[in-house]
């Protein structure tokens, strides 16, 4: 394996571990903050599926602040990889959460945590796979746009959740 691929691989392993730890902590930061509306934009404010999707997204965004300076010169599609990874992670969590609840008729904390872990691993695998491929800047600009839209949507729907099942606590 080339040295630059090893470096990218190491960063993706660290990013998965970060998402698991930081995302888990973000589950509690809203309560710890005394229900601060600012902290609520980045933390789970209730037990809905939507609020739990924020945990992976915001922990990934915070990690990008650390990781990007180390990879920016060797990865031309960094933000595209992050956008694809977080989209896949969250899609996996949503699909399999509703699938297992439909099949079992009940919600399980064990399966919720397992889905989050598997989703984070999917995120890391996709990140690595995309980052080692050469792409032009157009895909990276698309990735930036998607990440900004996701962030805006997560904040907006924290304060103004639509009347849909995904936004309601089970």
pLDDT in tens, 45-101: 999 999 999 999 999 999 999 999 999 998 989 999 999 999 999 999 999 999 999
The set of residues, in sequence order, having a beta carbon less than 8 Å from that of 4 and lying 6+ positions away, is 74
Q: Which two tokens stand for residue 85?
A: 């990874």
Among 62, 109, 103, smallest CA distance to 82 is for 62
Any alpha helices (H) in 132-160, and if so which ranges?
137-159
pLDDT tens for each residue of 13-54: 999 999 999 999 999 999 999 999 999 999 999 999 999 999
Q: What residue spans define the domains of the chain?
A: 3-159
User: What predicted TM-score, i.e. pTM, was given to this entire model?
Assistant: 0.94
């Amino acid at each position: 394996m080339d040295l630059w691929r090893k470096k990218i691989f190491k960063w993706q392993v660290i990013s998965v571990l970060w998402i698991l730890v930081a995302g888990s902590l973000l589950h509690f930061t809203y309560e710890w903050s005394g229900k601060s509306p600012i902290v609520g934009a980045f933390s789970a404010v209730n037990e809905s599926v939507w609020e739990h999707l924020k945990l992976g997204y915001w922990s990934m965004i915070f990690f990008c602040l650390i990781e990007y300076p180390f990879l920016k010169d060797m990865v031309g599609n960094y933000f595209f990889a992050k956008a694809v990874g977080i989209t896949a992670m969250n899609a996996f969590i949503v699909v399999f959460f509703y699938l297992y609840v439909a099949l079992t008729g009940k919600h399980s904390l064990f399966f919720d945590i397992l889905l989050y872990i598997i989703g984070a691993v999917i995120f890391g695998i996709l990140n690595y796979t995309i980052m080692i491929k050469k792409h032009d800047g157009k895909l990276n600009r698309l990735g930036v746009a998607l990440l900004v839209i996701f962030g805006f949507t997560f904040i907006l729907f924290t304060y103004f959740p639509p009347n849909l099942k995904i936004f309601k606590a089970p």
